[in-house]
Structure 1
């Protein structure tokens, strides 16, 4: 195998593949990436057997071939080379990389030891804008449960029905839901699955900033995401995501509109004085929104933000990290806050639209 390509392109592919690799003493090949040169394309593959990525790099290939090399070593070396053309050649199972006055040799493993990437038998498919998909995953991911007690909550719920895609996540303390309306989704039937958190996070990172379309396909407990530069394959989470719609309030006895940045600054300051339970108190009144926190070991804090209140006065306590995640995911300069009782769920969304609910 012998080829040359832009170092930045190769480094990006190696970095993406490295994040999909696994650490398994019994299977050291999972810490490797597979590099294959064929025609005018070099592909870099990484997997931990739960999910995998194949990322393509345009290159000038003078000799086809393939080799396995340690993911971290390759990624670190390429990052140290800077932005220039790199010459790559396989030599007796190792990989030699050179740029101008620098040269490195990475010991490898036989390519035939690398596990096969599964082929997904497509049963349902749809297309969606890559950047929009990434943006909405970023909003939802903070609400994914970190506990394995309920496996169905450790991922992102994805539903597609006609021209609407819905993403949702909950850890039972908070819930996030995004709705994307796109007439070009192209799904002929309803689609529903739960994407593992790690896979969803990588999808968000990889698709961030892209403007083209991605094709999402479901097979037998498998997910395939394809874009111009590569593909992601992942197992799905078994089980049914809970029917959460009944707990989302439809009417509110208290509602208010608050400046987003003012609220973020106030909560950030109050968090310094939060209790061991990370609580801050929000009190809605005709004079505005008061944010307060106290800790016997630190002190106390109180401030007021302007708010347009409708309904009765109310005081509620929240984990400041949870409420901050929701506020930061909103787009508008002014946000809506609705609640009913101190012990009932509160709801936040943008003032101008309801595409995202927290």
Structure 2
């Protein structure tokens, strides 16, 4: 096996494929990246792939001066090397069991791993439909922020992906907040039955972010439309002439019935400027421990923020808001509130209240603050308040 390729193209491909490598692989070969050169349409193509038995990544790019073959080498080391190479074409050659890398005056030789011991990557499932890469990446980022990180509760570490006609719905919760986002997409079969799967949040966020520049991102699902299959979801897209694919096993867990948590009626609401509120929350939270609550008192035209107490530092700040309803006092984990405000992607937010002890809903508002602005209902961030003493 040998090939020549531009340094940046190789570095990008290796870095992307290395995303699926486990930090502590269960098998030594799973720490490797598989490089494979094949002849395609009269030219040569290099495939770089990684696999940790749960998630896989694979990227194809055109190379020149190539001859077919394959090699398995340390993925982390290869990624470090390719990123540090000088800006010259890279020549890669397999000589026996060692891989030689030449770029300008730099030379590296890496020991190979046994290719025969490397597991076969899962095949890409049946295509379910396509979605704009940037829109999907933004939606996943808005939702994944609310996913749990406790692996002992696997149902909370995933993002529920619901497919119903031309609508994709994403939802995640860690019991203290809930994020839901809807977006349009192009289904492969508009008449297919609705499907709902649970995708590991970290893997989904990583795949969506890395494929964000794909104009058309393809989502593939085992048994899509039938609700059955091997429990695998796949994503593929093309960026800068590089075709990338990623798969991951679905979580075999039951996601909470989240729709019942969303209130349908509100006793009061506030329209706030996101930027000033974010900065005020950060400031008043400086005097408390990381998860200590920030108290918020809403009244006509203002919200007063306080944190801390008599035995520690105390901070207060007041902001102007457009508030409609009876005065209400509530409190939130500051980081959870900041996560929700940061995910809105608009300059104005609407906070919807039922009572001081019930969940509060945050929604983005298009345009600046004002009663005539339109609420964007395709994204909802629900946050549980912290119970105040007394």
Range class of TM-score, shorter chain:
over 0.9
**Alpha carbons 1:38, 1:61 under 8 Å: kept:** no
The 3 A distance-change label for structure 1 pair 197 and 252 is: same
Contact 2:308 2:314 in 1 (8 A): yes
Cα distance between partner residues in 2 of 1:337 and 1:143: 17
- Aligned runs of 1:26-65 on 2, under 5 Å? 27-39=27-39, 40-65=44-69
Q: Does residue 1:225 correspond to 2:235, yes or no?
A: yes
Partner residue in 2 for 1:129: 132
> Would you say 1:18 and 2:22 are equivalent positions?
no
- Contact 1:165–1:181 (CA under 8 A) maintained in structure 2: yes
Q: In the TM superposition, what is the alpha-carbon distance from 1:237 to its structure 2 partner?
A: 0.4
How much does 1:33 deviate?
Answer: 0.5
Unaligned runs of 5+ in 2: 223-228, 367-375, 382-390
**Is 1:291 aligned with 2:305?**
yes
For residues 123-166 of structure 1, the C-alpha deviation after alignment (integer angstroms, 9 at most, x for no partner) is x6121111111111111111111123332111100001011100
Change (3 A) 1:5 1:89: same
3-state DSSP class of the match of 2:94?
A: strand
Which of 290-299 and 63-72 deviates more? 290-299
Moved more, 164-173 or 75-84: 75-84
Structure 2 counterpart of 1:158: 161
Secondary structure, in 3 states, of the residue corresponding to 2:113? coil
| Separation in structure 1 between the aligned mates of residue 140 and residue 125 of structure 2, nearest angstrom | 25
Q: 1:307 to 1:82 in 2, by over 3 A?
A: farther
Q: Equivalent residue for 2:379? A: 356
Q: Distance in 2 between matches of 1:275 and 1:78?
A: 42
In structure 1, stretches of 5+ residues that fail to align are: none
CA gap of 1:297–1:30, structure 2 versus 1, over 3 A, is: farther
Contact 2:129 2:220 in 1 (8 A): yes
1:212 and 2:216 aligned = yes
Distance in 1, Cα, partners of 2:291 & 2:232:
39
C-alpha deviation, 1:72, in angstroms: 0.9
Any conservation in 2 of the 1:41–1:61 contact (CA below 8 Å)? no
Q: Following TM superposition, by how much is the alpha carbon of 1:121 offset from its aligned partner in structure 2, in angstroms?
A: 4.8
Runs of 4+ in 1 over 3 A off after TM superposition: 23-26, 182-187, 295-298
CA distance in 1, matches of 2:276, 2:26: 53
- The structural deviation recorded for 1:318 is 0.5
SS at match of 2:356: coil
Q: 2:326 aligns with which of 306, 312, 318?
A: 312
Contact 1:121–1:220 (8 Å) recurs in 2: no
Q: 1:335 to 1:23 in 2, by over 3 A?
A: closer
Q: Contact 1:195–1:236 at 8 Å: present in 2 too?
A: yes
Moved more, 231-240 or 208-217: 208-217
Q: Measure how far apart 1:174 and its partner are.
A: 0.2
Q: Is the 8 A contact 2:181 2:379 kept in 1?
A: yes
2:361 — aligned with what?
Answer: 347
- Larger deviation: 201-210 or 179-188? 179-188
SS at the partner of 2:287? coil
Instruction: Confirm or deny that 1:97 pairs with 2:66.
Output: no
Number of residue-to-residue matches in the alignment: 357
